[in-house]
Amino acid sequence: MQNNPLLTESALPFGAPQFDKIENKHYLPAFEQAIKEGKQEIDAIVANPDAPTFSNTIEALEYAGGALSRVADIFFNILEANTDDELQDIAEKVSPMLTEYDMYVSLNEKLFKRVKTVYEQRDSLNLAPDQQMLLKKQYKGFERNGANLSPDDKKTYSEYEEQLSLLTLQYGRNLLASTNAFTMVLTQESDLAGLPGYIRDMAAQAAREKDTEGWLFDLSYPSYSGFIKFSDRRDLREKMYRAYNRRAFQDEFDNTEVIRKIVDLRYKEAALLGYKDYADYQTEMRMVGSGKAVWEFIDKLKDPALPVAKDELAQLNRYAKSIGFEGDELMPWDFSYYNEKQRISRYNLTDEELKPYFRLEDCIDAIFSLANRLYGITFKPADVPVYHPDVKAYEVRDADGSFLALFYADFFPRASKRNGAWMTQFRGLKIENGIEERPFISLVTNFTKPTADTPSLITHDEFTTMLHEFGHSLHGILAKGRYPSLTCTNVDHDFVELPSQIMENWAYEKEYLTTFAKHYQTGQPLPDTLIAKIKASKNYMSAYYHMRQIQFGILDMSWHTLTALPDQSVLDFEKSVLKPTDVLPSVPDCIISTSISHLFSGGYAAGYYSYKWAEVLAADGFSLFEEKGIFDKETAGKFRHLLESGGSIDAAQLYRDFRGHDPEPAALLRQLDIIEN
């Protein structure tokens, strides 16, 4: 253990993870040792002969298991971003070990008794606001994890948790394997009709990497989305669409039975804890408060938008027929293709035209410059090891020169990385024994890789995604506080997307775009005419895309408000709950549930609505920047306080302190032009 780089103190700058030394063989022994140490720390709290106090019980519990947190943060992030079969096997071994440790803590009667004693004295302890919040969350955490259950029910709860931990891992593993199993190799130039040069180049490089002739397309997002949007070959678009929307369905990696087991266990667990359903359990400690309130929120956003979305699609159908579409109505594999053509006809704006102005390196500099202009912070390359050659590391410092965080950026797709984009952390923030540990933050995407002839050029949508994830990153980088569970992104689940979604707005602001968007070959700035088109096209088909997100929320809540498994198949259940809000025709043998990892392996169960919840906050919040100026220091300072505070202050109060009032769903509907101002 003395030589295990996951457990030994790092001598690297800032105590950075020793990625140059960490090997797969280190993980399992590190978990075993860290769990042992964590249990010893819990035992020491329980065995303390002194009466329970905030210091010897609540704070001691907050810092217990520190080594385990460090190991887990590194392992599970590498599992997502640079996995292999061995790591996935380790994950399946570790998962029940972690569940058993969690149960060792959360179902520890003597430990809960000490916590409860302090909680019952809370009004007389003269605690600081963050201490009050920590005490409340710890007590509720025990309560919500079965501390008040009978011994038999505690055993049952532990069994449910262990099964769920393995099933969610299995869901993600199946999805990755099914995604990677499909490739479409084209060998005839005629098969590439309609595809822009950058899509062809990406496919040619993918083929070369697989020692294959021709052009290789797969289900990674840059490859799939580019093909489905631009290919003139309707038969091949349909082939790609069906492959993408049948991932982990009726193949060797089928997730349908996994979903049924997860949903069943989640309901049983919630019922055991005294909740009506899993949605009520999940939302109790969030801003929204209940499953019923989620449905009401969804209805407020759905009812005005659905007829507008249907009208948008009717217009698109008419447009498609006017340029030669011969079918009765557009199918899902037609949507992106004709949608892009109509967008171009309306705004005369293409990804191909914009991409040369969004060279990835320039975009990285741009987000760093924006953070500097708003918050005074700076980024410079850090001389620390990384976990893959594609990854870049930066040190982040405040305006006074003090160290804030390490920032890792991992932008390109590979078979070892899951699809999508996300922010995470290799280490959170804490102050223990007077020593502050600053965060190690990571931003991960799947942007188009550079080719032999062209640098990495990203779409405006991808740049918007980059800003989104960077907003999450700032939530971690700027964090202040002493307690890990109350800092960084450890906030109410339906508040966590506010910092990310508000950042997206800058992608449409001329005053910002002119600071960096320059043609990678000529150096010419992005013309005002193109900026105007970007701004004008922002709300193109906004009701349709809004309804798409609403449908994901409806599917999520429909699964997690069940109190018994439906007699229908997973496919039929999905079709039945989505039918009233379908805008495009539903394809009978295509499915969302088997590949929507947010719901079944990604932490958004009964929480997908929070994207829209946060969009409401962001729409209302950004209006203050619009009023005061998008680089206004005073407004940025108020928002920085929100970012710094993490979960130490009630989320609703934090928002009111920033904006001066509670948000309303109408703010988002107005921003999307679904309703009039």
Q: What is the CATH number of the domain that holds 568?
A: 1.10.1370.10
Q: Give residue 351's pLDDT.
A: 85
**237 found inside a domain:** yes
**400 found inside a domain:** yes
Count: domains in the chain? 4
646 vs 418, which has greater pLDDT?
646
Q: Give residue 198's pLDDT.
A: 87
**8 A C-beta contact, residue 641 and residue 271:** no
Q: Give residue 1's pLDDT.
A: 60
602 pLDDT exceeds 90?
A: no
Distances from the Cα of 369 to the Cα of 54, 237, 359, 364, 520, angstroms: 42, 39, 15, 9, 18
**CATH number, domain containing residue 403:** 1.10.1370.40
CA 657 centroid distance within chain:
26
The residues, any chain, with a CB within 8 Å of residue 187's CB and separated by 6 or more, are: 213, 214, 215
Spatial distance between the Cα atoms of 43 and 487, rounded to a whole number of angstroms: 26
pLDDT tier for residue 217 given thresholds of 50, 70 and 90: very high
Q: What is the pLDDT of residues 511-564, one digit of tens each?
A: 999 999 999 999 999 999 999 999 999 999 999 999 999 999 999 999 999 999
Same domain, 366 and 496: yes
pTM flag (> 0.95): no
Degrees (nearest 5) of the Cα angle 119, 286, 165?
A: 90
**Domain end residue (candidates: 477, 499, 525):** 525
Q: Give residue 294's pLDDT.
A: 97
Q: What's the chain's average pLDDT? A: 96
501 pLDDT exceeds 90?
A: yes
Which of 461, 472, 489, 460 minimizes the C-alpha distance to 651?
Answer: 489
Average pLDDT over residues 410-424: 92
Q: Give residue 196's pLDDT.
A: 92
Same domain, 55 and 137: yes
Same domain, 375 and 495: yes
**54 found inside a domain:** yes
**545 found inside a domain:** yes
**268 found inside a domain:** no
Degrees (nearest 5) of the Cα angle 363, 364, 365?
A: 90
**154 found inside a domain:** no
Same domain, 488 and 593: no
Same domain, 192 and 143: no
Please list the active-site residues.
Answer: 469
Q: What is the pLDDT of residues 155-173, one digit of tens each?
A: 999 999 999 999 999 999 9
Q: What is the pLDDT of residues 435-458, one digit of tens each?
A: 999 999 999 999 988 888 889 999
Print the domain residue range for 221.
182-244
Q: What is the pLDDT of residues 652-661, one digit of tens each?
A: 999 999 999 9
**8 A C-beta contact, residue 393 and residue 20:** no
Q: Give residue 449's pLDDT.
A: 87
Q: Give residue 131's pLDDT.
A: 97
Same domain, 369 and 238: no
Spatial distance between the Cα atoms of 405 and 411, rounded to a whole number of angstroms: 19
Q: What is the pLDDT of residues 2-52, one digit of tens each?
A: 789 999 999 999 999 999 999 999 999 999 999 999 999 999 999 999 999
**260 found inside a domain:** no
Same domain, 402 and 458: yes
pLDDT tier for residue 119 given thresholds of 50, 70 and 90: very high
The residues, any chain, with a CB within 8 Å of residue 616's CB and separated by 6 or more, are: 663, 664, 665, 667, 668
Q: What is the pLDDT of residues 45-104, one digit of tens each?
A: 999 999 999 999 999 999 999 999 999 999 999 999 999 999 999 999 999 999 999 989
Q: What is the pLDDT of residues 174-196, one digit of tens each?
A: 999 999 999 999 999 999 999 99
Spatial distance between the Cα atoms of 665 and 671, rounded to a whole number of angstroms: 10
Spatial distance between the Cα atoms of 465 and 421, rounded to a whole number of angstroms: 8
Same domain, 60 and 188: no
430 pLDDT exceeds 70?
A: yes
**CATH number, domain containing residue 34:** 1.20.1050.40
493 pLDDT exceeds 80?
A: yes
**162 found inside a domain:** no
Same domain, 139 and 30: yes
Same domain, 637 and 571: yes
Same domain, 80 and 229: no
Q: Give residue 448's pLDDT.
A: 86
Same domain, 217 and 124: no
Distances from the Cα of 427 to the Cα of 75, 77, 442, 463, 508, angstroms: 11, 11, 10, 26, 33
**Domain end residue (candidates: 525, 549, 568):** 525
N-term to C-term CA, the chain: 63
